[in-house]
Structure 1
Amino acid sequence: MIDAVGNPQSLLLLGGTSDIALATAEKYAAQRPLRIVLAARESERLDAAAERLRKTGSTVVTVPFDARKIDTHAEVVDKAFAEGDIDITLVAFGVQGDNEQGWTDVEVAREMAEVNYVAPMTLGVRLAEKLRKQGHGHLVVLSSPAAERARRSNFVYGSSKAGLDTFFSGLTYALDGSGVKVTVVRPNYVHTKLTEGIKPAPMAQQPEQVADVIVDAVRKGKEQVWAPAQMRWVMTVLRHVPRVIFRRLPF
Structure 2
Amino acid sequence: MRNSVGTVDTVLLLGGRSEIGLAIVERLVRDGARTVVLAARDAHHTEALGAGPERLRAAGATAVHPVPFDAAATSEHAGVVARATQLAGDLDVVVDAFGVLGEQAQFEADPAAAADAVTATYTGHVSMGLAVAARLREQGHGTLVVLSSVAGVRVRRDNLVYGSAKAGLDGFAQGLDDALHGSGARVMVVRPGYIPTQMSAHVSPAPFPATAEQVANAVAEGLRTGRRVIWVPRVLRGVFAGLRLLPRPLWRRISR
TM-score class, shorter: over 0.9
Deviation string 1:156-194 (CA, Å, 9 cap, x unpaired) is 111111111100111111100000011000100111121
> What letter corresponds to residue 86 of structure 2 in structure 1?
A
* Distance of 2:223 and 2:237 partners within structure 1: 18
Deviation string 1:109-159 (CA, Å, 9 cap, x unpaired) is 111210011101110111111110011000100001111111111111111
> In the alignment, what sits opposite 1:248?
253
Q: Are the aligned partners of 1:136 and 1:180 in contact in 2 as well (CA < 8 Å)?
A: yes
> In the alignment, what sits opposite 1:157?
162
* Distance of 2:199 and 2:29 partners within structure 1: 24
* Distance of 1:11 and 1:159 partners within structure 2: 28
Choose which of 173, 178, 181 in structure 1 pairs with 2:178: 173
Q: Are the aligned partners of 1:6 and 1:218 in contact in 2 as well (CA < 8 Å)?
A: no
How many angstroms does 1:33 deviate by? 4.8
Cα separation, partners in 2 of 1:96 and 1:8, compared to 1, 3 Å? same
Aligned residue pairs total: 251
> In the alignment, what sits opposite 1:51?
54
> What letter corresponds to residue 131 of structure 2 in structure 1?
R
* Distance of 1:128 and 1:180 partners within structure 2: 8
Cα separation, partners in 2 of 1:33 and 1:239, compared to 1, 3 Å? closer
Choose which of 179, 183, 186 in structure 1 pairs with 2:188: 183
| Local SS of the residue matching 2:188 | strand
Q: TM-score, normalised by structure 1?
A: 0.95
Choose which of 104, 111, 116 in structure 2 pairs with 1:111: 116
Cα separation, partners in 2 of 1:247 and 1:138, compared to 1, 3 Å? same
Structure 1: gaps of 5 or more residues: none
Q: TM-score, normalised by structure 2?
A: 0.93
How many angstroms does 1:98 deviate by? 1.0
How many angstroms does 1:6 deviate by? 4.9
* Distance of 2:107 and 2:2 partners within structure 1: 40
* Distance of 1:222 and 1:174 partners within structure 2: 16
**Identity over aligned pairs, percent:** 44
Cα separation, partners in 2 of 1:201 and 1:45, compared to 1, 3 Å? farther
| Local SS of the residue matching 1:247 | helix
Q: Are the aligned partners of 1:5 and 1:219 in contact in 2 as well (CA < 8 Å)?
A: no
Counterpart check, 1:26 vs 2:29: no
Cα separation, partners in 2 of 1:180 and 1:104, compared to 1, 3 Å? same
How many angstroms does 1:101 deviate by? 2.3
